[in-house]
Amino acid sequence: MKHPYLSRIEIRNFRNFRELTVDLEPTAIFVGQNKAGKSNLIEALRLIFDPALPESARRLRPEDFWDGLEAPFAGAVIEVKAFIRNLEENPRAQALLADCIVAPVPLTAAVTYQFRPSDKIEDGDAADLGEDDYDFVVFGGTDASNVIGHDLRKWLALVVLPALRDAQTDLQTWRRSPLRPLLERVRKQIPDEVLETVRDELDEAKATLLKSAPVKGLVKSINERLGLLSGPVQAAKTDLDFAASEPDQLMRSLRVFFQERTTKPLTDASLGTANLLFLALLVQDLDMKRDANEVVSTIMAIEEPEAHLHPQLQRLLFRYFLGREHPILLTTHSPNIASVAPLLSTVLLRNTGDESEAFTARQVGFTPEEVADLQRYLDVTRAEILFARGVILVEGIAEQFLVTAFAERYLKAEGLGDSLDDFGISVCAVGGTDFRPYWRMLSANGFSIPTVVITDGDPRTVDGKVQWWGIARAKALVNDGPVTKAVDKRVEAGDVTGGLAILGKHHVFVGQSTLELDLLATMSAELKLAYADLRPSPLMRTRFNAAADKSPGDKPAAVDFIDRIESIGKGRFAQRLAEKIGQRAAPAYIGGAIERIVSLVHEPDDGI
**DSSP readout, 117-186?**
E-TTSPSS-GGG--GGGEEEEEEETT-TTSB--HHHHHHEEEEEE-SS--HHHHHHSTTT-THHHHHHHH
Q: pLDDT grade, residue 122 (50/70/90)?
A: low
Write the pLDDT tens digit of every residue in 226-282. Answer: 777 777 766 677 777 666 566 667 777 777 776 666 666 666 667 777 777 878 888
Percent of the chain with pLDDT strictly greater than 70 = 93
The span from the CA of 82 to the CA of 110, in Å, is 6
pLDDT at 561: 96
Report the pLDDT averaged over residues 56-73.
92
- DSSP, residue by residue, 485-515: HHHHHHHHTT-HHHHHHHHHHTTEEE-SS-H
pLDDT in the model for residue 176: 76
pLDDT tens digits, residue range 275-304?
Answer: 778 788 888 888 888 888 888 888 889 888
Q: How far apart are CA 307 and CA 334, in angstroms?
A: 9
> What pLDDT was estimated at residue 186?
83
Query: pLDDT at residue 604 above 50?
Result: no
Question: Tens of pLDDT along 397-426?
Answer: 999 999 999 999 999 999 999 999 999 999
339-360 average pLDDT score: 92
Asked if 84 and 5 count as a contact pair (C-beta separation under 8 A), the reply is yes
Contact in structure between 356 and 350 (CB atoms under 8 Å): yes
Q: 22-36, 294-308, 561-575 — which is least confidently predicted?
A: 294-308
3-state secondary structure of 10: strand
Mean pLDDT of the chain: 88
pLDDT at 235: 63
In the prediction, which pLDDT does 518 show?
96
Backbone angles phi, psi at 502, to 5 degrees: -65, -45
Tens digits of per-residue pLDDT, 422-467? 999 999 999 999 999 999 999 999 999 999 999 999 999 888 888 9
- The alpha-helical segments, DSSP class H, found in 165-257 are 167-172, 179-187, 192-210, 213-234, 247-252
Select from 302, 277, 329, 41 the least CA-distant residue to 171. 277
Give all domains of the chain, ordered by start, each with its CATH number. Answer: 5-163+291-359 (3.40.50.300), 180-273 (no CATH), 383-606 (no CATH)
Q: What is the mean pLDDT of residues 588-599?
A: 97
What per-residue confidence (pLDDT) applies to 33?
Answer: 86
Greater pLDDT, 542 or 251: 542
